[in-house]
Amino acid sequence: SYLDELKDPRSVMFRLESEENATIGFIVGRIVPAADDESSVDADIYNIAVNEEVQNRGNGQFLLDEFLSKCRQLFVRSIWLEVRESNTNAIKFYKRNGFFAVTTRKHFYTDPPEHALLMRLNLIPPVTDAE
């Protein structure tokens, strides 16, 4: 499915390599139309992963920073993602980077079954009626 994703022009993918050219991490996402404003675009992060042997060395932060930079270049309004409720390390990581919980998606994951926390990061502040 990642090979198919590479063919999609809306995809944003970064791969982190070791000195031996082995994949040690990656991030996969997509630029999508904003659900509430057809003149804006949002992004979804589908997957971010770092090899367990090189975690806690800034690799995940590097991948997320590259993704955020690309989204800013494309004038992405908000970035969305789902994370397992039990994945407290990932939730802390996302919160440190400005993501906030929006809602819980019941029974989102199936193997094993678990709820997902839907999180959002606003790159462009939302416009309110008062403005």
Q: What is residue 35's predicted lDDT score, i.e. its pLDDT? A: 81
pLDDT of 119 above 90: yes
Q: Is 2 a catalytic residue?
A: no
Q: Which residue among the candidates 66, 82, 85, 114 is catalytic per the annotation?
A: 82
Predicted structure pTM score: 0.88
Per-residue pLDDT tens over the stretch 2-16? 778 888 888 999 999
What distance in Å separates the CA atoms of residue 5 and residue 13, rounded to the nearest whole number?
A: 9
Judged against a pLDDT cut of 60, whether residue 87 lies above it is answered with yes
Question: Is 114 an annotated catalytic residue?
Answer: no
pLDDT, one tens digit per residue, over 24-80 is 999 999 999 888 777 889 999 999 999 999 988 999 999 999 999 999 999 999 999
**125 upstream amide cis, omega within 30 of 0:** no
Distance CA 41, CA 75 (A): 7
